[in-house]
Amino acid sequence: MKRIDIIDAVGREHLESNIENMEWSYGAALKRPIKGHQFLDLRFVKDNVSVLVETKQNFTEKDEKQLFDYIQLEKELTGNNVIGILANTKGNKIKVWKNEIALNDKAIKTISEYIDMFDTSKVNDKEQVMQSTYKLNEILHRNDIPESLRSQFVGTCLLALGDNKFIYSKLQTEQIIAGIEKILKGSLVKNGSTQKELKLEILCNNVLKNQKVENLTSKDFEFILDFIKKEIYPFIDEKTNKGQDLLNLFFTTFNKYVGKEDKNQAYTPDHIVHFMCKVAKIDRNSRVLDLTCGSGAFLVQAMTQAVKDCRTDAEKARVKRNQIFGIEEEKQAFGLAVTNMLIHSDGNSNVMKGNCFYESKWIKKARVNTVLMNPPYNAKPVNIPKSISEGWKKDAKEDPTKGFCFVNYTAEQVKNGVLLCLLPLSCAIGSSKEIKEEKRKILENNTLEAVFTLPPDMFHPGASANACCMVFTLNKPHPKKHETFFGYYKNDGLIKKKNIGRVDAKDKWDAIETEWLNLYNKKSVKAGLSAIHTVTEDDEWLCEAYMDTDYEQLGSGNFQKAINNYESYLVQSRKHENSSEQTKKWKFFKLGGKGGLFELENCKCGNAGELAEGDDVFYIGAKKDENGVMKKVAYDKDLITKGNCIVFICDGQGSVGYSNYMNEDFIGSTTLSVGYNKNLNKYTGLFLVSVLDLERPKYSYGRKYRKFLPSTSIKLPVDKNGNPDWAYMESYIKSLPYSKNI
């Protein structure tokens, strides 16, 4: 890196020297003899910040002391905050300190950017931003701003507030709107945007000229802008990488408030977007495409990570101008994407409105090497070319491939690099002939590297789809013996918080994301979290099918929980009776089939509404607690299921995969299967239920239990002959607290 390039990057007008060759002498400045180093290569000063640069052909650790000497002399001379930089003249390597704290910068910044680093008027406070976002949503509701408009309206307000020249105090509503429109137009012109006029028209007509916005009184409009400026803006430092993430979170959070009737797709939560970008290894050389970009979350995060890897302002500009590409057909979502990119500065020039299936030339011209996408799972066939949908049923109302056809189309156009996509679990299972065909097609020319099962409530409070992330290497046919990585990544540490949504309230996500990435990057197998398996188009593509159950978590608490649940059921039935956790040897046993633990049957009641009222027998359904008891009904011999069995819940959101022991005859929903064994009693039954519940994470509403029940294996203590040790199981349950109550 040449000195002249450093001077131009920091700001030539702020360069100060007091000796020849643009250098600075601290001895001359302090007017006293200096022991040791005193001649600094480059010194820049603006306001109360000094930027000190020492250049070397190839600096080493011993050169740090020289720079630290200059930092101390500068503080003695001026008292300024100091940025210290070591820079190689051979290559572009730099090392940067803020005062004496090392930073991870890879590029020389302008002195104005360094001044911003010392600005304490802004901090990143996620909790404060989320709480204020909820309050802002209430304010918008009171002012009759529709849910479908709020995200885009807030985005345009945020963009306007980012312009120091924006004035809105004591102006009329039409003047405020005119001021925002001027800023929008200036941003689009400055960025040389694709479809500039269309973008401006959509943003103005959909937002600024919306009747609800125009009807705002000047007082109310000013109040909204003041609230954003005072209660949200100070808590987002957009000049930091964390602040960029928080800015995106604030903007996209309003998508959660969009009513279901207005949602055309599930918006991907920001932390999952961040994880996928890390898996894709986004850097300054990435050329990223999302051809169903929605609000632009993938594009913004990819741009943020790519810019973070840049070494110069020229590289940053190149990334924003030439390396981020998006397509969105739906007008409202397109407006969201444009606004989102604008408030993150530049980067919007290659986001266009259109149907991705008819933009093949544009996609190929982009020469992308990284695809990130969350295609619509319920697209209308009318919007998909007949060349793709010709094999579908003529009366199909929605895309039977659940978005998989978008993935195959993209892979065929790009043919380079990696593709990451979010799809429903049904696409990984292959639950229809259309999906099976898409799985076959994708493996013909591309390699399945990984599939991650993601949290079931990931899209809360919007869509309820259970999704997985698939990772493909493009234009490389899937080898028969290729080992694909599978991650059971359902626990992201986030919790649901009233009025806020799913948040990382206990700061668990960073550690969880690190573990997820380490397992994938190292292709490590961990019971209950990951597996490696060779698969074809005919196999399941989910970790649940291949991972080992984590039996290390099995302890007395698991068995006690089963006892407590069973006791709760006994209280309801009014039939109380007075009456080392693992052996050394445990062995796996299949639940069904030849030599299996159980004779398996299905329950018979398909419509609980037709059951006669009564007090004869329990009706058992897909309910995980109280032993599955729903109510008591009249006896019906044709629907009775014999008792002394294990009840397997095979279907049902939130309860699929659970098991219960039932001691007496009952009527069961068709969502249930039951298992019989001559050694079953209430004690051995509760032991088995405790062990079976370790298998529950492998099943979900999208991956039904019944299909896999016979082949599922569980680990049980064995006797000297290698058979299940029923006597041990019974004695162990009897040894636990409260067991006498059952």
Share of the chain above pLDDT 70, in %: 87
- Cα separation values, 222 from 163, 247, 321, 486, 548, Å: 16, 21, 34, 51, 58
- Cα separation values, 498 from 252, 503, 736, Å: 18, 10, 38
The least confident of 116-130, 331-345, 349-363, 399-413 is 116-130
- Cα separation values, 593 from 205, 589, 602, Å: 64, 11, 14
Asked if 45 and 78 touch (Cβ cutoff 8 Å), the reply is: yes
Q: What mean pLDDT, rounded, does the chain reach?
A: 87
Higher pLDDT, 218 or 348: 218
Helix, strand or coil, per DSSP, at residue 422: strand
Q: What is the mean pLDDT of residues 381-396?
A: 88
Asked if 277 and 302 touch (Cβ cutoff 8 Å), the reply is: yes
Task: Please list, in sequence order, all residues whose beta carbon lies within 8 angstroms of the beta carbon of residue 136, skipping any fewer than 6 positions away.
Answer: 154, 224, 227, 228, 231, 232
Task: Please list, in sequence order, all residues whose beta carbon lies within 8 angstroms of the beta carbon of residue 428, skipping any fewer than 6 positions away.
Answer: 451, 468, 470, 540, 541, 542
The region, left, alpha or beta by phi > 0 then psi within -120 to 50, assigned to residue 346 is left
Number of other CB atoms surrounding residue 389 within 10 Å:
20
Cα–Cα distance between 100 and 375 in angstroms, integer? 47
Please give the CATH architecture assigned to the domain spanning 556-741. Alpha-Beta Complex (3.90)
- Give the number of C-alpha atoms closer than 13 A to the C-alpha of residue 668, restricted to the C-beta side: 30
Q: For 430-459, how does the pLDDT look when each residue is reduced to its tens digit (9 = 90+)? A: 878 999 999 999 999 999 999 999 998 888
pLDDT of residue 239: 61
pLDDT of residue 436: 95
Q: What is the mean pLDDT of residues 536-552?
A: 87
Q: For 491-507, how does the pLDDT look when each residue is reduced to its tens digit (9 = 90+)? A: 999 987 766 677 777 88
Cα 587 versus chain centre, distance: 38
Q: How wide is the angle at C-alpha 326 spanned by C-alphas 324 and 327, nearest 5°? A: 165
Q: For 478-490, how does the pLDDT look when each residue is reduced to its tens digit (9 = 90+)? A: 999 999 999 999 9
Q: Is the pLDDT of residue 85 over 50?
A: yes
Query: Domain limits of the chain?
Result: 3-117, 122-267+274-345, 375-547, 556-741
Cα–Cα distance between 128 and 233 in angstroms, integer? 10
pLDDT of residue 437: 95
pLDDT of residue 61: 87
Asked if 686 and 566 touch (Cβ cutoff 8 Å), the reply is: yes
Band of pLDDT at residue 53, cut at 50, 70 and 90: very high
Task: Please list, in sequence order, all residues whose beta carbon lies within 8 angstroms of the beta carbon of residue 211, skipping any fewer than 6 positions away.
Answer: none
Q: For 24-40, how does the pLDDT look when each residue is reduced to its tens digit (9 = 90+)? A: 999 999 999 998 889 99
Higher pLDDT, 347 or 162: 162
Q: For 571-607, how does the pLDDT look when each residue is reduced to its tens digit (9 = 90+)? A: 455 443 333 444 458 999 999 999 999 999 999 999 9
pLDDT of residue 70: 94
Tokens for 729, please give them.
């199981």
Band of pLDDT at residue 564, cut at 50, 70 and 90: low
- State the DSSP H helix or E strand holding residue 467, giving kind and residue range, or none if neither: strand 467-473
Asked if 624 and 654 touch (Cβ cutoff 8 Å), the reply is: yes
Higher pLDDT, 179 or 120: 179
Q: Find residue 38's DSSP bridge partners.
A: none
Q: Is the pLDDT of residue 292 over 60?
A: yes
Band of pLDDT at residue 197, cut at 50, 70 and 90: confident
Question: pTM, whole model, 2 decimals?
Answer: 0.72
Which is nearest to 289 in space by CA: 350, 335, 377, 342? 350
The DSSP result for 579-607, as a single string, is ---S-S-EEEEESSSTT-S-EEEE--BS-
Q: For 595-644, how does the pLDDT look when each residue is reduced to its tens digit (9 = 90+)? A: 999 999 999 999 998 899 999 999 999 988 888 899 999 999 999 999 99
Q: For 161-172, how does the pLDDT look when each residue is reduced to its tens digit (9 = 90+)? A: 888 889 999 999
Nearest-10 Cα torsion for 191, 194, 196, 198? -150
Tokens for 433, please give them.
């002939």
Asked if 633 and 619 touch (Cβ cutoff 8 Å), the reply is: yes
Q: What is the mean pLDDT of residues 107-125?
A: 79
Which is nearest to 582 in space by CA: 553, 549, 555? 555
Instruction: Quickly tell me which residue has 């006896």 as its tokens.
Output: 635
DSSP symbol at 728: H
CATH code at 375-547: 3.40.50.150
DSSP symbol at 698: G
Q: Is the pLDDT of residue 705 over 90?
A: no
Q: Classify each residue of 410-432 as buried b or exposed e, where b means 16 or more C-beta atoms within 10 Å of its C-beta.
A: bbbbbebbbbbbbbbbbbbbbbe
pLDDT of residue 481: 93
